[in-house]
Amino acid sequence: MIKEAEGVAEFPRRERMVPELNDPVIREAICSPYRIVYRIDEPNQIIYIIRIWHSARGDPQV
């Protein structure tokens, strides 16, 4: 899971948008059974990890 989170920093737009939000700056990386939800701040070149969520807990409230 750590490697997946690190990969997000290198290629933040590689992962899909969170379907529930349909916002291009809110993305998620799937690292089964976890979802890593993050926000892209392009002007400042920062990635914010919003939530790491276990899929057995349903959908996260972002």
> Which tens digit of pLDDT belongs to each residue from 9-61?
888 899 999 988 899 999 999 888 888 899 999 999 999 999 888 877 776 56
Residue 1 has pLDDT above 70, yes or no: no
Question: pTM score, two decimals?
Answer: 0.81
Cβ atoms of 30 and 54 within 8 Å: the answer is no
3-class SS shares of the chain: helix, strand, coil, % to 5: 20, 40, 40
Q: Give just the sign of the alpha carbon dihedral 57, 55, 18, 28.
A: positive
Of 50, 57, 5, nearest to 31 by C-alpha is: 5
Residue 6 has pLDDT above 60, yes or no: yes
Predicted pLDDT at 17 = 94
Cβ atoms of 34 and 52 within 8 Å: the answer is yes
- Distance, in Å, from the CA atom of 13 to the CA atom of 54, rounded to the nearest integer, reads 22
